[in-house]
Amino acid sequence: MAGIKALISLSFGGAVGLMFLMLGCALPDYSKYWPLFVLFFYTLSPIPYCIARRLVEDTDATSNACKELAIFLTTGIVVSAFGLPIVFARAELIKWGACALVLTGNTVIFATILGFFLVFGSNDDFSWQQW
């Protein structure tokens, strides 16, 4: 039952984050859809860590180059997702209010992704690897 509650709360977090992203795009004051490009970063961010987790058998090792490279690539993707709306706002493609809404959505979405891996990342009975 604890897994179901965690899944529902993570779904709620994802919905709130996407709501902030859509508000930054669709409000009448902003009405530019350039910030939707951060959706690519949302889908790309968990991929390096998932690949590294499949390739590495010993997750208890103190230093693992494959896992550290995956974390480095994931960090680069997350920083790029936060940088893209700022670049758009500096180039005056979007307004700063839309940038703030997209950055808020980024924070919520990436916290949700992190929460997903913290909750379902262990190798117990209820794991994301079953899916």
CA distances in angstroms from 122 to 21, 105, 107, listed in the order given: 30, 27, 23
Q: Where are the domains of the chain?
A: 1-122
pLDDT at site 4: 85
Q: For residues 89 and 84, give the distance between their C-alpha atoms in angstroms, rounded to a whole number.
A: 9
Q: What percent of the chain has pLDDT over 90?
A: 62
Please state which of the ranges 28-32, 94-98, 101-105 shows the lowest mean pLDDT. Answer: 28-32
Buried b (16+ CB within 10 A) or exposed e, 83-109: ebbeebbeeeebbeebbebbbbbbebb
pLDDT digits (tens, 9 = 90+) for 26-51: 998 988 999 999 999 999 999 998 88
pTM reported for the whole predicted model = 0.84
User: Which token pair is 93?
Assistant: 């493609």
